[in-house]
Chain A
Amino acid sequence: EIVLTQSPDTLSLSPGERATLSCRASESVTSSYLAWYQQKPGQAPRLLIYGASSRANGVPDRFSGSGSGTDFTLTISRLEPEDFAAYYCQQYAGSRMYSFGQGTKLEIK
């Protein structure tokens, strides 16, 4: 099973700043199968990025994804108040199993 490790666990930033979230896989992941989700308290997760770098429908262009192999990054170029939430990366390696990272909580500084 591929394990995804996200860092940091918590990121404290101010609105207007740039956020960089990391997701590292224990084995190489096909980029087509790497996604990022945003989850706010009491809500279901929302798909932000799929295929490592493609934005889902309706996602603002301040969100971008990059990376390949075992290292992937979600970048929020300029934080808006509504961006403070938990973020999860997720992979599918073709082994008939999916896994999620443990999450990064993005909080207001």
Chain B
Amino acid sequence: QVTLRESGPALVKPTQTLTLACTFSGFSLTTSGMCVSWIRQPPGKPLEWLARIDWDDDKFYNTSLKTRLTISKDTSKNQVVLTMTNMDPVDTATYYCARLIRGGYASGSTDAFDIWGQGTVVTVSS
């Protein structure tokens, strides 16, 4: 069974750096085609994709947030970490991590976010 779980602080102050962890099981980020993304959703608003990291350590970022984001992985811990600098109240949102399997690489590939974590709520306030 594939699961992902987000963890991190519920409250951060403006200008601080947010660090979130996505701990997963049921697949390996060393397997060709496996990727993990971060996606967020402010209260009452649509989803916004943030970043993606691939099995080969390739990294993708939302161009409008690129200067503030860093995504990394620790395959020994089955974990993906996202850091976001200079937090602002507009960054208040539920942050999700999700798996994606690139087409043509592995069984069950969809090129879509097929399994999601339950999300972690982050509030930015002084």
Contacts and interface: CB of A to CB of B under 8 A. Distances in A.
Interface of A: 1, 32-33, 35, 37, 43-47, 50-51, 54, 56-57, 88, 90, 92, 96-103
B60 interface: yes
B12 to A, nearest CB: 21
Contacts of A96: 60-61
B116 interface: yes
The 5 closest A-B pairs by CB, nearest first: A35-B112, A50-B112, A98-B49, A44-B116, A50-B110
A51 B108 CA distance: 13
A103 B116 contact: no
A88 B46 contact: yes
Size range of the chain B interface in the assembly: 20 to 34
A37 to B, nearest CB: 8
Nearest to B37: A98
A103 B46 CA distance: 6
13 contacts: A1-B63, A35-B110, A35-B112, A37-B113, A44-B96, A44-B118, A45-B47, A50-B114, A88-B46, A88-B47, A90-B113, A97-B49, A100-B48
A24 B16 CA distance: 37
A44 B114 contact: no
B47 A44 contact: no
B103 interface: yes
Contact of A51 (B37, B63, B111, B116): B111
Contact of B62 (A43, A46, A54, A97): A97
B110 A45 contact: no
Contacts of A92: 111
Given A97-B60, A97-B63, A99-B49, A47 B113 contact: yes
Nearest to B47: A100
A43 B47 CA distance: 13
B2 to A, nearest CB: 11
B46 A102 contact: yes
